[in-house]
Amino acid sequence: AETNLKNLDFDLSKVTRENFYDIVVPAAKAEGTVTMYNFAGSFGDAWKELITRFEAKYGIKVEYSDVKGAQANQQLIAVQKAGEDAPVDAYFAGGGDYPLLSSAGVVGNIPLTSILPNMDHYDPAFAQSLFGKPHGGAYPLVHLNQTAIGYDSAFVKPEDLPKTFDELLAWAEKNPMRLGVTLPSKGGSGGGFIYSVALNYLTGECRTKLTDYTLTAEQAADWAMTSECLEPVWDYYRKLLSVAELTNGNADTLNLINNQQLYIGTVWEDQVMTFIRGKQLPDTFRLTLLENGQVGSGDAMFVPANAKHVAAAMLLIDMAIGKDFQAWKLENKASRSPRTDLTSNLVTPETAKYLLPSSVYPRLSAPAFWDMAKALGEALDEKVLSQ
């Protein structure tokens, strides 16, 4: 593939998985430093772990910044437009941001999944495209996450645990205001949930449209705002929200569960682990997935087209996808791996009880379609919440 990289100081086209370290390590050391952005607030400690390992191994300094995804995206787009160098070399960015970033030409054209040595066990489902959008290996996920239904087992008996969306609604009707649903536009667990509801209730052509990854964000928004197909979804939400609590974000939902105000809520698996480790959730907290599937997603690490330290960035991404770090991440952050050779069997039993049980994961994980989820969220606001 032809390169759009602006500041290459080595011959990228020559790099293969086999000669990767021979070419890239010297180039990276010559570059001396690498700048990394992290968009995920709760991932700071994980990256600190990676950076420690990276600096120790290669002696290359990592300049690390926590950023806000939306702002950093806009920044990169603006800088790219202005023709300046990117302020970042390796950007850990939202999986759903790929359409935005790639259409602005921000993503560096590097077939990372084909040439990084540590990507030799990479899940083929994500290797060349992401949620239906081809990226040629330039936008590899380094972390998978899963939206789920979380519950406090101290209040929800196993026999009462809803297994389907209908059962969830029934449970909520029986236990008014004990179910928390995150507002889609304020948290991915809510966005994932609304898309999952749609997946559950739509059939035929409607479902085809719902899963048409070729739709642009605008097309999705138009469809969501106007299509009759979604009536069942709106109907479900109307009923659900009359008996459930709509929350202001993922953390908001979890906080209410910790306060014993909610017993069930829409959550992210990895965030739950962070809260469990921080003792912000009761240790009776458990996860499950509903039948017909709930959205699973992931976040990527990529090299911007106008990055200054491309080699070092590639080296950092390579280490991030390495088995050691991925295992550490799974154990400590409940961060699932796109590596095919890493499963929850490797996790300690103490951690495992807070992960999704293998009876539902990955069986009920459905691929995310964030542009559509976002469109549904906005339409929900317009059609249900504002009426």
Partner 1 sequence: MAVVAETLPKARARVFHEDDRLLVSAGLYAALGLTIALPLVLMFLWSVADGWAPPNVIPRDYTLSRWLDMIADPGLLRAALNSTVIAVVVTFATALIALPTAWAMARFPFRLKRLVEIFILAPVIIPGLVVAVGIGQVFLFLGLSYSITGVILVQIVGTLPLMIRLMTATLETIPDDLIHAARSLGAGTVGVVLHIILPLAVPGLLAGGLLSFIGSFEEFDKSFIVGAPVVETLPIKLYTFLDPYSLQLPIASIIAFILLLPALIVFVIAGRILRDDLMAAGMGKL
Partner 2 sequence: MQAALHDRKIQLALLLLPGVGYLVLFFGGPLVSALIGSLRLDDGSFTLQWYERIFTRATMLRGLQTSIYYGVAPVFVSLLVSIPLALLIRQNFWGRKLFNGLYKLPMAVPGIIVALMVIIMAERGGFIDRVIAPFGVSMPKLVRDEWGIGVILATVWKQIPFMTLIITSAFAGIPEDIRHAARSLGASRLNTFAFVEVPLAMPGITAAILLTFIGSMGSYAIPDIVGSPSPRPLSVLMLFEFGEGRFAQVYAMGMVLSLFAVVVLLAYYALTANIGVNRAKGDE
Q: Print the binding letters for residues 77-106 with partner 2: x by CB under 8 A, - otherwise.
A: x----------------------x------
| Separation of alpha carbons 95 and 145, rounded Å | 10
DSSP labels, 110-174: --HHHH-GGGTTB-HHHHSEETTEE-TTSS-EEEEEEEEEEEETTTS-GGG---SHHHHHHHHHH
| Residue 1 interacting partner from partner 1, partner 2, none (CB closer than 5 to 8 Å by kind) | none
CB nearer to partner 2: give 105 or 362: 105
Is 279 among the residues that bind partner 1 (CB under 8 A)?
A: yes
Peptide bond between residue 367 and the one before it cis (omega within 30 degrees of 0): no
Vertex 177 angle, CA 150 and 158, to 5°: 40
Considering CB under 8 A, how many residues would be counted as binding partner 1?
Answer: 37
Task: Return the number of the residue (186 or 333) whose C-beta is nearest partner 2.
Answer: 186
* Among residues 73, 274, 294, 306, the one that binds partner 1 under rule CB under 8 A: 274
Is residue 186 a contact residue for partner 1 (CB under 8 A)?
yes
Q: Which of 9, 49, 66, 160 binds partner 1 (CB under 8 A)?
A: 66
Q: How many chain residues touch partner 2 (CB under 8 A)? A: 27
Q: What is the DSSP letter of 364?
A: T
3-class DSSP state for residue 19? coil
Residue 378 lies near partner 2 (rule: CB under 8 A): yes
Locate the DSSP E strands across 31-80. Answer: 33-38, 61-66
Work out what residue 214 binds among partner 2, partner 1, none; the CB cut-off runs from 5 to 8 Å by kind.
none
Q: Which is nearer to partner 2, 31 or 245 (CB)?
A: 245
Tell me which of 246, 272, 312, 330 binds partner 2, using CB under 8 A.
246
Distance of CA 267 to the CA centre of its chain: 13
The residue range among 62-70, 119-127, 162-170, 310-318 that interacts with partner 1, by the rule CB under 8 A, is 62-70
Kindly indicate which of the ranges 50-58, 68-76, 112-120, 344-352 contains the residues binding partner 2, using the contact rule CB under 8 A.
68-76
Q: How many CB atoms lie within 10 A of CB 349?
A: 6
Q: How far apart are CA 379 and CA 220, in angstroms?
A: 10
Residue ranges with strand state E in 293-352 = 294-302
**Binding site residues, partner 2, CB under 8 A:** 69-70, 73-74, 77, 100, 183, 185-186, 245-248, 252, 255-256, 258-261, 374, 378, 381-382, 385-387
